[in-house]
Amino acid sequence: MKGVATTMNYHIIFANTFGDAAIIHRENPFSLLKVLLPCADRASLLQSAEREEWGKAASHPNVTVTAIAESLADYFRGRPLRIPWEWMDMRSLTELQQSVLRAVADIPYGSVSAYKDVAAAIGCPRASRFVGTTVAKNPFPILIPCHRVVRSDGSIGQFGGGTEMKRRLIELEAENAPA
């Protein structure tokens, strides 16, 4: 049926220098639902999201999801990426959560910022814990670079992919950031 929206989810798994990662998306209208961080093996990756979220293995016919996967793979090789805001489905997030993620997205490639600095940037200087909770639930890691948010004392803090991956991502960006 032409013109009828479908709610079927699809996914694409792609290899990169950090392991296998995935993008979960919707076809009609096209939107990104979730980015899954790289895992060392596919079995671990497949366990990192609820089975019903995955949907069928397929890329979008207009190759947008393939281009985003390629951009993410390039990121893991040390190249900055453009955030595809126009495709990211953020309807499950409150306006305040979205403002946190937009502030995190403003942290320059190769830089880090403290949770309290992100809280101040959204006009809620006492909301460091809220910032931490929001970035922990970021549905679009790497695209929205939550790994750039660290503790006030400069220590790495938590990360969905583990502290070692967070450290590697920060180092990758530091090595490849423009001077």
Q: What is the pLDDT of residues 31-51, one digit of tens each?
A: 999 999 999 888 888 777 776
Q: Which one of 1.10.1740.10, 1.10.3470.10, 1.10.1760.20, 1.10.10.10 gives the CATH number of domain 95-176?
A: 1.10.10.10
Please write the tens of the pLDDT for every residue from 54-71.
877 776 566 788 899 999
Q: Is residue 1 over pLDDT 50?
A: no
Pair 56, 65: CB distance under 8 Å: no
Q: Which residues are catalytic?
A: 146
Could you give the maximum distance between any two Cα atoms of the chain, in Å?
56
Please write the tens of the pLDDT for every residue from 112-157.
999 999 999 999 999 999 999 999 999 999 999 999 999 999 999 9
